[in-house]
């Protein structure tokens, strides 16, 4: 899959819009997408992250929030695959900035929307793209 220019979506990101979007799509998006988004969101809040990596994270989260992307989110199943691709691409780029505490915080938050069986899919975060 060819990635879109997700950096052009940086102006679409806001903390409020992120929380609203992730809450509304959680079950439909699946635990893997939500986990990747939460890790990026919490990594963005870290003071250990470079400005360059923060810019990439903001672009990726803005892309996820935006209703205008390569595959519209309203299209069942396929609508969020491009979002997942962008999130995982950026997550791989910034993975060295992701503390174990951030991963734990994201996993804990998943428990609000998913049961243990659904959460198991995050164990293969980068394996199936």
User: Which pLDDT score is estimated for 2?
Assistant: 55
| CA torsion angle 24 51 105 96 (round to 10) | 120
Tokens 């695959």 sit on residue: 81
Report residues of the chain scoring pLDDT below 50.
1, 129
Contact 45, 92 (CB under 8 A): no
Determine the 3-state secondary structure of 63 from DSSP: helix
User: Which pLDDT score is estimated for 87?
Assistant: 94
User: Which pLDDT score is estimated for 3?
Assistant: 54
User: Which pLDDT score is estimated for 26?
Assistant: 80
Instruction: Please enumerate in sequence order all residues whose Cβ is within 8 A of that of 109, keeping only pairs 6 or more positions apart, or say none.
Output: 38
User: Which pLDDT score is estimated for 129?
Assistant: 44
User: Which pLDDT score is estimated for 86?
Assistant: 92
User: Which pLDDT score is estimated for 21?
Assistant: 83
Q: How far apart are CA 97 and CA 42, in angstroms?
A: 11
Tokens in use for 91?
């997550």
Q: Is the pTM of this model over 0.85?
A: no
For the beta carbon of residue 30, count every other beta carbon within 10 angstroms: 17
Across the chain, mean pLDDT equals: 86
Dihedral sign (CA 5, 63, 33, 37): positive
């Amino acid at each position: 899959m060819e990635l879109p220019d997700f950096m052009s979506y940086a102006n679409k990101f806001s903390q409020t819009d992120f929380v609203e979007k992730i809450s509304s799509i959680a079950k439909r998006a699946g635990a893997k997408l939500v986990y990747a988004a939460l890790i990026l969101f919490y990594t963005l809040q870290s003071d250990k992250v470079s400005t360059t990596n923060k810019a990439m994270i903001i672009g990726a989260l803005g892309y996820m929030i935006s209703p205008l992307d390569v595959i519209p989110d309203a299209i069942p199943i396929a609508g969020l695959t491009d979002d997942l691709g962008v999130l995982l691409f950026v997550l791989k780029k910034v993975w060295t900035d992701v503390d174990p505490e951030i991963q734990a915080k994201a996993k804990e938050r998943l428990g609000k929307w998913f049961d243990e069986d659904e959460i198991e899919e995050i164990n293969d975060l980068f394996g199936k793209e």
